[in-house]
Amino acid sequence: MLPASGAPPRASGRVAWPVIAVLGVIGGVQLDLGVWWGALSVLGGALLAMWDARPALALLALAGAAAGFGSAHVVTSRPDPLRPWLGAQVTLDGQWDGQFLTLSDPRARVAVAPRPLARPGHIRVSGRLIAPEGRRTPGGFDQAAWLRAQGGVFLPTPTAVLVGARLRQSGREGGVRGWFRQGLTAGLGPREAALMQAVELGDRSDIGREDFAEGYAVRDAFNRAGLAHLMALSGQNVALITGVLVWLLAWRGAPPGWRYGLPAALLLGYLWLVGLSPSITRAVIMGFVVLIALAVGRGRVDPTGLTALAALVCVLLFPLWLLDIGFQLSFLAVLALTLAGRAADRLPATWPHGLRAALSATVLAELATLPVIAGTFGQLPLVGLPANLLAAPIMAVLVPAGFVAGLLGPAAAPLNLLNGVLADALLWVARTAGQFPVLPWGTVSPAGMIAYAVSALAGVLWLLGRVRLPAVLGTVLVCALMTALPARLHPPRDIVFLDVGQGDGTLIRVPGLTILVDAGGSVGSDYDVGGKAVVPALRALGVRTLDVAVATHADTDHIEGLASVLRAVPVGELWIGQRKVGDPVLDAVLAAARERRVPVREVRRGDRVSASDATLTVLWPPGNVWSTADNDNSVAIKLESRGWSTAILGDLPDPAEDMIGLGHLDLLKTAHHGSRFSTGAAFLVQTTPKDAVISVGRNTYGHPNPDVLNRLAAAGVKVWRTDQMGTITWPIP
């Protein structure tokens, strides 16, 4: 049983048993994953039982560890039924749920890219099956890890991705879900309908395609405003929907069994309707337990024990949710909210109670999730508090009203007159708040996590009345200095060859000078390499501003991503070679530069910039004559530092690369992704590099060309490839 809140202090039994059990389960999962310090979690559970004067419960921590280890092992050791078809062109028939395609034979789940524009239901789709990729760039999306976390003990893990997917056949979504979705969208415009589906069903596929303006996506606005959690189903949805239902039943005079039991049963149906995800599963478990306790007269339950019970169920059924960002954010936030009452008591008593409660809950949730949000998304919203205070009353009406609209199905159009106004109001809050600056953040190191944990512990002790506020502020200041000083004392000095697939993106960093040369692009696709790969990488690497961005030439796979970079990161100057007229990709980059008031400089041979014993010199183009081939006009630069040198040549072909007079190079960034038209034998004799980096991805051009690889091998050059190694970081002397 969970201990009732308000129970008198006892010599033992102050810690709810789920807390001890879940520590053991978490440790067992970590041990199965090879994380040795998972043993510390098990030990912590056992020691907590001893401290609580219930040594017998130490066995519960050990039993939990065994259960967690076994649960994780079931998931991680499950054979991959799709392995024989990896690399093959296939046509698949299955049930599409908006995120994964579920197959019946073999029993498997598949991710689909790009996601088909089809409602959930039976579909037929063709493409090529490939194994999911891990994190290829700093701050990038680890698809393989995310997919592993989506499997459970009774749910197959998605083990493959169908790329180049083409929808062959789809049916109209029917059943309860189809009816509910019709109600959510009846009579609404595309943007409002997409928002309603995200808020009520957690389906963000449509909202992900909506923009407020070019380069300003709706989802980006929610992220920058600190409102992204509104589109992730969670306790807010459960509380608002069940709260209205309980109030209606109480108004009708229903006895407690019906008043709380009926909403508890409906919560299970709601979970089936929206699907399993960490945040909503956690919220439904907690809401169900609370409602059942009230129905049977048990009273309120201990929030910490209740949270631990929800985590226990989730991790036993879905052990790798432990690594899921949604799981981490959900439980960190709800644990912080257990202290909201104490935090509200610290605010001036003259303030309205509702304001104090809202302020304390919002601030605590933001502080608790700070390291995960900062490390994952590379930025922290600065207006999250006022934005959430404005959004809260809108959501308080929109969520239950939207749920009623879903129940009404196609007849919901009159109600959606109200919902449309509320959706527009919420979109206005996100759009307005999303235009404010954000605080950029890099990857949170282990030292940073320790510093945060110490600061958080000091804050909790202050809320509990164990320490004074000056001690907390001093602790936070010391921890901040300890994590901030190393980067200031030893700034990076390196070249980062970003893995942007089939394209180029190179970051040069020396103290006082940060330069990005190209930012990739996606030929024949609407995938935003700049916004989805390069910008997160810059944030993860701690790059807050760029002194120079270089667009080597008007090729999509080199410069398309620069438009997103220019909109997301302050840039001092944009360098281009030929100002090619009428090229849509270059025009988009120049338009972004004008929008952000970034000066554009047409560089020529001999232009240079220096900082910290490093000099960057432009060797091409001469500018007096232009070729009709874009590759011939590539900006080529040479970097020299303390007797060491390298060059970045864009797509410059042979014999032009022989004409620019590079001389000796220690490191060569091969031109044109290892094309047979570049990196000739005479060029290698001239430059005598020891190492060469080839920026390349999956392609149909035959890059890197076998002849080029043979020439490099014959010259004794060691080759480093982004398609094999991911992002490559090279130190600059």
DSSP string, 499-553: --SSS--EEEEETTEEEEE-----TTS---HIIIIIHHHHHHTT---EEEEEE-S
Residue type at 135? R
Q: Which of 75-84, 166-175, 448-457, 575-584 has the lowest mean pLDDT?
A: 166-175
Q: Note the pLDDT tens digit of each residue in 91-135.
A: 999 998 888 999 988 999 999 988 888 888 889 999 999 999 888
Q: Tell me, what CATH number does 716's domain have? A: 3.60.15.10
The structure tokens listed for 727 are 């992002």
Q: Decide the pairing of beta strands 494-497 and 438-440.
A: unpaired
As a whole number, mean pLDDT of residues 162-171 equals 87
As a whole number, mean pLDDT of residues 317-325 equals 93
Determine if the peptide bond prior to 599 is cis (ω within 30°): no
Residues 525, 384, single domain; the answer is no
Q: pTM for this structure? A: 0.86
Query: Could you tell me the pLDDT band of residue 205, with boundaries at 50, 70 and 90?
Result: confident
Question: Which pLDDT value is given to residue 14?
Answer: 81
Contact in structure between 332 and 368 (CB atoms under 8 Å): yes
Alpha-carbon distances of 53 from 22, 45, 46, 57, 61, rounded to whole Å: 18, 13, 11, 9, 14
Q: Which of 175-179, 323-327, 707-711 has the lowest mean pLDDT?
A: 175-179
Residue 7 belongs to some domain of the structure: no
The structure tokens listed for 118 are 């089809």
As a whole number, mean pLDDT of residues 519-525 equals 85
Within 552-599, strands assigned E span 571-576
Give counts: helices (H), strands (E), the chain.
28, 23
As a whole number, mean pLDDT of residues 504-513 equals 95
Alpha-carbon distances of 203 from 197, 199, 200, rounded to whole Å: 6, 8, 8
Residues 568, 609, single domain; the answer is yes
Q: Note the pLDDT tens digit of each residue in 47-65.
A: 998 988 888 889 999 999 9
Alpha helical stretches, state H, 570-615? 584-595
Residue 416 belongs to some domain of the structure: yes
Identify the domain boundary among 35, 60, 77: 77
Residue 441 clears pLDDT 90, i.e. is over it: no
Residue 482 clears pLDDT 90, i.e. is over it: no
Residues 151, 242, single domain; the answer is no
Residue 197 belongs to some domain of the structure: no
* Residues contacting 543, CB < 8 A, separation 6+: 440, 507, 509, 514, 569
Residues 528, 581, single domain; the answer is yes
Alpha-carbon distance of 619 to 606, in angstroms, equals 6
Residues 469, 602, single domain; the answer is no
Identify the domain boundary among 57, 77, 97: 77
* Domain count for the chain: 5
Place of tokens 């929206």: 274
3-state secondary structure 423-434: HHHHHHHHHHHC
Alpha-carbon distance of 234 to 284, in angstroms, equals 8
Query: Could you tell me the pLDDT band of residue 12, with boundaries at 50, 70 and 90?
Result: low
Residues 474, 415, single domain; the answer is no
Alpha-carbon distance of 615 to 230, in angstroms, equals 48
3-state secondary structure 400-442: HHHHHHHHHHHHHHHHHHHHHHHHHHHHHHHHHHCCCCEEECC
As a whole number, mean pLDDT of residues 364-368 equals 90
| Helical pair 256-274 and 175-185, crossing angle rounded to 10 deg | 90
Alpha-carbon distance of 275 to 272, in angstroms, equals 5
Q: Note the pLDDT tens digit of each residue in 249-283.
A: 888 888 888 889 999 999 999 999 888 889 999 99
Question: Which pLDDT value is given to residue 408?
Answer: 92
As a whole number, mean pLDDT of residues 72-81 equals 93
Residue 279 belongs to some domain of the structure: yes
Residues 616, 694, single domain; the answer is yes
As a whole number, mean pLDDT of residues 633-651 equals 94
Residue 218 belongs to some domain of the structure: no
Question: Which pLDDT value is given to residue 7?
Answer: 46
Residue 94 DSSP code: E
Residue 280 belongs to some domain of the structure: yes
Question: Which pLDDT value is given to residue 719?
Answer: 95
Alpha-carbon distance of 306 to 310, in angstroms, equals 6
Residues 368, 235, single domain; the answer is yes
Identify the domain boundary among 444, 471, 503: 444
Within 225-353, strands assigned E span none
Most confident region among 164-168, 237-241, 560-564 by mean pLDDT: 560-564
Containing H/E element for 601?
strand 600-602
Residue 367 phi/psi, 5° resolution? -65, -40
| Mean pLDDT, rounded, of the chain | 90
Q: Decide the pairing of beta strands 691-694 and 667-669.
A: parallel
As a whole number, mean pLDDT of residues 214-241 equals 86
Alpha-carbon distance of 626 to 630, in angstroms, equals 9
Q: Note the pLDDT tens digit of each residue in 688-713.
A: 999 999 999 988 888 999 999 999 99
Residues 336, 429, single domain; the answer is yes
Closest by CA to 195, choosing from 182, 208, 179, is 208
Query: Could you tell me the pLDDT band of residue 10, with boundaries at 50, 70 and 90?
Result: very low
Residues 452, 404, single domain; the answer is no
Question: Is 104 strand, coil or helix?
Answer: strand
Residues 401, 330, single domain; the answer is yes
Alpha-carbon distance of 361 to 357, in angstroms, equals 6
Residue 301 DSSP code: B
Residue 4 clears pLDDT 60, i.e. is over it: no
CB burial of 564-596 (b: ≥16 within 10 Å; e: otherwise) equals bbbbbbebebbbbbbeeeebebbebbbebbeee
Alpha-carbon distances of 272 from 110, 281, 404, 413, 450, rounded to whole Å: 20, 10, 17, 25, 39
* Higher pLDDT among residues 113 and 722, named by residue: 722
Instruction: Provide the greatest CA pair distance for the chain.
Output: 91
As a whole number, mean pLDDT of residues 409-432 equals 94
Contact in structure between 41 and 64 (CB atoms under 8 Å): no
Question: Which pLDDT value is given to residue 446?
Answer: 84
Residue 299 belongs to some domain of the structure: yes
Residues 318, 440, single domain; the answer is yes
Q: Note the pLDDT tens digit of each residue in 589-634.
A: 999 999 999 999 999 999 999 998 999 999 999 887 788 888 889 9
Q: How many CB atoms lie within 10 A of CB 138?
A: 24
As a whole number, mean pLDDT of residues 74-94 equals 92
Alpha-carbon distance of 632 to 654, in angstroms, equals 9
Q: What is the CA radius of gyration of the chain?
A: 28
Containing H/E element for 110?
strand 107-113
Query: Could you tell me the pLDDT band of residue 375, with boundaries at 50, 70 and 90?
Result: confident
Closest by CA to 671, choosing from 723, 635, 622, is 635
DSSP letter string, 183-242:
HHHTT--HHHHHHHHHHHH---TTGGG-EEETTEEHHHHHHHHT-GGGGS--HHHHHHHH
The structure tokens listed for 96 are 């599409």
Question: Which pLDDT value is given to residue 13?
Answer: 66
Q: How far is CA 690 from the centre of its chain?
A: 37
Residue 725 clears pLDDT 70, i.e. is over it: yes
As a whole number, mean pLDDT of residues 139-166 equals 90
State the residue range of the domain holding 340.
228-444
Which residues make beta-bridge pairs with 641?
A: 614, 644
Q: Note the pLDDT tens digit of each residue in 553-585.
A: 999 999 999 999 999 999 999 999 989 888 999
Residue 292 belongs to some domain of the structure: yes
